[in-house]
Amino acid sequence: MNLQELTTRLHRIRDANQWQPFHSPKNLVMAASVEMAELVEIFQWLNEAQSRELPAEQLAHAGQEIGDVVLYLLLLCSELGLDMNQVVSAKLADSERRFAR
């Protein structure tokens, strides 16, 4: 997945719809949080086994919500001037240092 290409495509959609004034970091964080809550709803009352074996319709819905969260985070990185690859790589390296055995 080329994150720069995805961000460029997102910017095209944003610009075509004149949404940039609404894409402040604060608004993007809140939007990502709402989408994450929608993902949580899918799993809310499931037991552990059920959460690992979603029916096809729920699995597709989960995928849509995950996509929404990721796209909002890409837009957030863009607004903050952060490189998603760099941010994620740095966090993974920190987790490896702290938790890998």
Give the CATH number for residue 39.
1.10.287.1080
**Beta carbons of 32 and 75 less than 8 angstroms apart:** no
Domains of the chain: total: 1
Distance CA 57, CA 65 (A): 13
Predicted confidence band at 48 (pLDDT cuts at 50, 70, 90)?
A: very high
Question: Which pLDDT belongs to residue 101?
Answer: 82
**Span 51-64, mean pLDDT?**
98
Predicted confidence (pLDDT) at residue 47 exceeds the cutoff of 80: yes
Range of the domain at 74: 3-99
pLDDT of residue 98 exceeding 90, the answer is: yes
Structure token pair of residue 20: 């940039």
